[in-house]
Chain A
Amino acid sequence: MSDEDQDIILADLDDDELVQQMFDDLYDGLKEEIEEGVNILLSRDWPPYRVLTEALVGGMTIVGQDFRDGILFVPEVLLAANAMKGGMAILKPLLAETGAPRVGGMVIGTVKGDIHDIGKNLVGMMMEGAGFEVADIGINNSVESYLAAIEEHKPEILGMSALLTTTMPYMKVVIDTMIEQGIRDDYIILVGGAPLNEEFGKAIGADAYCRDAAVAVETAKEHVARKHNKAAAG
C-alpha cells in the first residue's frame, strides 16, 4: 500500500467521490466506514432513499455482479452485506418517516430439514438493499409456517431455498399446497439453492429459479413490475 492509499477522510470527499469510496468500502466489507458515509450524505441533505439507492444499492450491485462472476465468494459477500446492514440500520427509520417508494414485499425461508441458510440470508439482505420489505422466516420451514407467514405479511413474493438434494423436493410440497388452497397465483414464487436449476424450478411450478442473490433481485424486480402492469391493465 502506498501512502496515498491511506488516511482517506470521508468528510473531505465531494458527493461523487464519497459515493465511489462507499462502493469500495462496501466491497471491502467496512461497516463503520459505511455508517460514517451514510451519515455524511444525510448531513448533506441527501434524502434517505437516495442514499439507499445510489450509495448502498449501487455498491451492493457491484458486489452482486462479482459474486455472480466468481470473483467474490460467500465470505466476502457476507462481510459486504454486514456493512450494508450497518448503513440500512441508520436509513430504515428515516425511510419509514419519509415514505420512500415501496418496491415490494417478500417472505423468504429455507425449507424443512435443510442444512443452512447462508444463500437465503444473502438474498434477503440484497433484496432489502434493493428496497424490498423482507420478512425472513429463517430455516426449517414447514408448509404451515410458509402459509402462516404469507398470510401475515401479504408479500408479492415468496422465496424458498434448499441446499440439499434431499430437501429440494419439499418446495414442490409447498407449491402444491398453495395450488390446492387456490392461492398459488396470488404470489410470485422464486426458488434457489445450490442443487437447483432452471428446469427444476419450472418443473415444480415456481415462477423462476434464481441462481444467486444478484439474479434474485433482478428477477424479483422484473416479476413485480410485470405483476403491477397486469394489475393496471386488468
Chain B
Amino acid sequence: MTSPLETLLETRDWLLADGATGTNLFNMGLSSGEPPELWNVSEPAKITTLYKSAVDAGSDIFLTNSFGGNAARLKLHNAANRARELSRISAEIGRNVADRADHKVIVAGSVGPTGEIMAPLGQLTHELAVEIFHEQAEGLKEGGADVLWVETISAPEEYIAAAEAFALADMPWCGTMSFDTAGRTMMGVTSAAMVTMVEKLANPPLAFGANCGVGSSDLLRTIQGFAAQGTERPIIAKGNAGIPKYVDGHIHYDGTPELMADYALLARDSGARIIGGCCGTMPEHLRKMREALETQPKGEKPSLEEITSRLGAFSSASDGLGDDEPTSTRTNRRRRS
C-alpha cells in the first residue's frame, strides 16, 4: 500500500514541514528541563494548539510531540514505562488535528535519539536500541501516525537501529541527522557518508536529510552534499531559524521570517523536497516560507557564496568533503600496524 506521504510526494514538487516544537512549547509555558512529552497527557489543548499552528501556517507535515518519548530519555524523569503511551497520545492528538485540516496533512511520529552512545564505544547495544525505538514506533503507530520520523541523530549505528525498529513496526519512515560539527555529525558522518548509509539499508526511508545543527547556511551546504551524490530519494531540510540568543528570560532565535523564506527557496534550489524549520521556527516563519515557495519559481542550484551572502557565514570552513580539509597538527607519525 502506498503511504499518504508517498502519495503526496508523487503529486507535489515540494512539501512544507513544520517548525520548532520546543521553542513553541516554551512560549506556552513549558519550563526548561521538564519533559515536553508529559504535556500530551496534562496539557493536550496546548499540544493541539501547537500542531494546529503549524497546519494553519500551511505545513503539509507536522511532527508529533514525542521527540524525547523513548524509554532511554523518559527514564530521566522516572517515566521510562510510559514511552509507548506518551508516544501514542502524541500521535492521537495529531491525527485529530490532521483529520480536521482544510488540506491534506501528514502526521509524522517524531523519534529523537536515545542519548546513549552505542556499543562498542558506549554501552547501548544494537538489540536494546532497536527495542527502545520499536516500543516508541508501536505507540506512534497505534496513535495514528502516517509515517515515523527519526531526527537529530549523530551516530550511523543509531540511525540503522531505528530503521530496523521501524521495519518491525511495519511503518514507512523518514530520518534526518544533525550536522553540527565542522559540517559533519558529532560522530563525524559527512553528508556523502549519510547517503551511502541510507542507500544500503534493507528498508530505506521515504525521505532523508538534515535537521537542527548550526544555522541555515551550514544546513544548506549539507543538503547540497546530499544532492551531489545523485540520490533520487527525496531530501529533507529542517534548519534552525538562526542561532539562539537569550532575551528577556526567553530563548530567541535571530532568524527572521523573511530570512527563513529565503532559506526555504535556497533549500528547494539546493535539492530539498521536504522543507521545514527546526529550533526557533515559529508559525510566522512557516507562513512566509509557504508564501515564498508558492509564489517563487524553483531556481538554479545556488553557489555556496550565494548562500552565505543571503543567510550568513558558515560555522566551519569545510564540510569534510572538499580538497581543502584541515590537516592534523600531528605529522610524521609512526603508525602501528
Report the bound CA distance from A78 to B336 in whole Å: 19
In-complex Cβ contact of B336 among A8, A79, A200 (8 A) = A8
The verdict on A161 contacting chain B, using a C-beta distance below 8 Å, is: no
Report the bound CA distance from A96 to B32 in whole Å: 40
The verdict on B313 contacting chain A, using a C-beta distance below 8 Å, is: no
The interface residues of chain B lying within 8 Å CB-to-CB of A170 are 32-33
The verdict on B334 contacting chain A, using a C-beta distance below 8 Å, is: yes
Given contacts A116-B117, A166-B36, contact A71 B186 (CB under 8 A): no
On whether the beta carbons of A115 and B115 are closer than 8 Å, the reply is: yes
The verdict on A144 contacting chain B, using a C-beta distance below 8 Å, is: no
Report the bound CA distance from A140 to B187 in whole Å: 22
Query: What residue of chain A has the Cβ atom nearest to residue B254's Cβ?
Result: A199
Report the bound CA distance from A165 to B251 in whole Å: 8
The verdict on B23 contacting chain A, using a C-beta distance below 8 Å, is: yes
The verdict on B34 contacting chain A, using a C-beta distance below 8 Å, is: yes
Query: What residue of chain B has the Cβ atom nearest to residue A111's Cβ?
Result: B33
On whether the beta carbons of B32 and A167 are closer than 8 Å, the reply is: yes
In-complex Cβ contact of A169 among B32, B318, B326, B336 (8 A) = B32
Report the bound CA distance from A142 to B32 in whole Å: 11
Report the bound CA distance from A69 to B34 in whole Å: 34
Report the bound CA distance from A23 to B116 in whole Å: 29
Interface contact tally, CB-CB below 8 A: 137
Given contacts A115-B73, A116-B113, A164-B22, contact A30 B336 (CB under 8 A): yes
**Chain A: minimal CB distance from B332 (Å):** 9
**Chain B: minimal CB distance from A214 (Å):** 12
On whether the beta carbons of B76 and A27 are closer than 8 Å, the reply is: no
Q: Quick one: CB contact mask for A144-174 with B, threshold 8 Å, 1 for yes?
A: 0000000000000000000011111110110
The verdict on B327 contacting chain A, using a C-beta distance below 8 Å, is: yes
Report the bound CA distance from A135 to B299 in whole Å: 55
On whether the beta carbons of B246 and A5 are closer than 8 Å, the reply is: no
The interface residues of chain A lying within 8 Å CB-to-CB of B249 are 172
On whether the beta carbons of A27 and B186 are closer than 8 Å, the reply is: no
Q: Quick one: CB contact mask for B316-337 with A, threshold 8 Å, 1 for yes?
A: 1010100001111110011111
Report the bound CA distance from A111 to B318 in whole Å: 31
Within 8 A of A (CB), among B110-147: 112-113, 115-117, 121
Report the bound CA distance from A1 to B115 in whole Å: 37
Q: Please, how many residues of chain B have a CB less than 8 angstroms from a CB on the other chain?
A: 55
**Chain B: minimal CB distance from A146 (Å):** 12
The interface residues of chain A lying within 8 Å CB-to-CB of B182 are 69-70
On whether the beta carbons of B184 and A73 are closer than 8 Å, the reply is: yes
Given contacts A113-B34, A194-B186, contact A165 B336 (CB under 8 A): no
**Chain B: minimal CB distance from A35 (Å):** 15
In-complex Cβ contact of B76 among A62, A139, A166 (8 A) = A139
Report the bound CA distance from A230 to B245 in whole Å: 31
Report the bound CA distance from A66 to B186 in whole Å: 14
On whether the beta carbons of A173 and B68 are closer than 8 Å, the reply is: no
On whether the beta carbons of A113 and B246 are closer than 8 Å, the reply is: no
**Chain B: minimal CB distance from A201 (Å):** 9
The verdict on B77 contacting chain A, using a C-beta distance below 8 Å, is: yes
On whether the beta carbons of A66 and B336 are closer than 8 Å, the reply is: no
Query: What residue of chain B has the Cβ atom nearest to residue A59's Cβ?
Result: B330
Q: Quick one: CB contact mask for B187-204 with A, threshold 8 Å, 1 for yes?
A: 110000000000000000
The verdict on A137 contacting chain B, using a C-beta distance below 8 Å, is: no
The verdict on B243 contacting chain A, using a C-beta distance below 8 Å, is: yes
The interface residues of chain A lying within 8 Å CB-to-CB of B22 are 164-166
Q: Quick one: CB contact mask for B229-260 with A, threshold 8 Å, 1 for yes?
A: 00000000000000111110111000000000
In-complex Cβ contact of B337 among A6, A24, A25, A78 (8 A) = A6
On whether the beta carbons of B33 and A74 are closer than 8 Å, the reply is: no
The verdict on A93 contacting chain B, using a C-beta distance below 8 Å, is: no
The verdict on A53 contacting chain B, using a C-beta distance below 8 Å, is: no
On whether the beta carbons of A5 and B26 are closer than 8 Å, the reply is: no
In-complex Cβ contact of B327 among A6, A62, A71, A114 (8 A) = A71
The interface residues of chain B lying within 8 Å CB-to-CB of A28 are 335-336
The verdict on B219 contacting chain A, using a C-beta distance below 8 Å, is: no
Report the bound CA distance from A79 to B183 in whole Å: 21
Given contacts A74-B186, A118-B186, A140-B76, contact A27 B32 (CB under 8 A): no
Nearest 4 CB-CB pairs, A to B? A70-B182, A73-B188, A203-B246, A112-B33
Seen from chain A, the residues whose Cβ lies within 8 Å of a Cβ on chain B are 1, 5-8, 21, 23-25, 27-28, 30, 33, 62, 65-66, 69-71, 73-76, 78-79, 111-116, 118, 139-140, 142, 164-170, 172-173, 194-197, 199-200, 203-204
Seed contacts A1-B335, A111-B33; 15 additional CB < 8 Å A-B pairs: A6-B336, A7-B337, A24-B330, A27-B333, A33-B336, A70-B183, A74-B154, A74-B187, A75-B187, A113-B33, A115-B113, A115-B115, A118-B117, A165-B22, A204-B246
Query: Can you name 10 A-B pairs with beta carbons within 8 Å?
Result: A8-B334, A24-B336, A78-B121, A115-B73, A166-B36, A167-B33, A168-B251, A169-B251, A173-B32, A195-B244
